[in-house]
Amino acid sequence: MTPEDVIQQKCVIWFRNNYGLKTHNPRYLLFSVPNSGKDVKEQSYKKATGMMAGVADLILLMPNGKTIFVEMKTEKGTQQPSQKEFEDAVLKLGFTYIICRSFETFQTEIQKLIPIE
**Domain boundaries defined on the chain:** 3-37+46-113
Look at residue 117 and tell me whether its pLDDT is greater than 70. no
Whether the CB-CB separation of 37 and 104 falls below 8 Å is answered with no
Per-residue pLDDT reduced to its tens digit, 60-80: 999 888 999 999 999 999 999
- Whether residue 26 is preceded by a cis peptide bond, meaning omega within 30 degrees of 0, is yes
Q: Best-predicted range by mean pLDDT among 35-39, 57-61, 64-68, 111-115? A: 57-61
What is the C-alpha to C-alpha distance for residues 86 and 94, in angstroms, rounded to an integer?
13
- Write the class of the CATH domain 3-37+46-113: alpha beta
Task: Give the rounded distance of the alpha carbon of 14 from its chain centre.
Answer: 14
Q: Specify whether the CB–CB gap between 83 and 4 falls below 8 A.
A: no
pLDDT on residue 37:
63
Kind of pairing, strands 96-100 and 67-72?
Answer: parallel
Angle at which helix 103-113 crosses helix 3-19, to 10 degrees, equals 30
- Nearest-Å Rg of the Cα atoms of the chain is 15
pLDDT greater at residue 51 or residue 94? 94
pLDDT tens digits along 9-33: 999 999 999 999 999 999 999 999 8
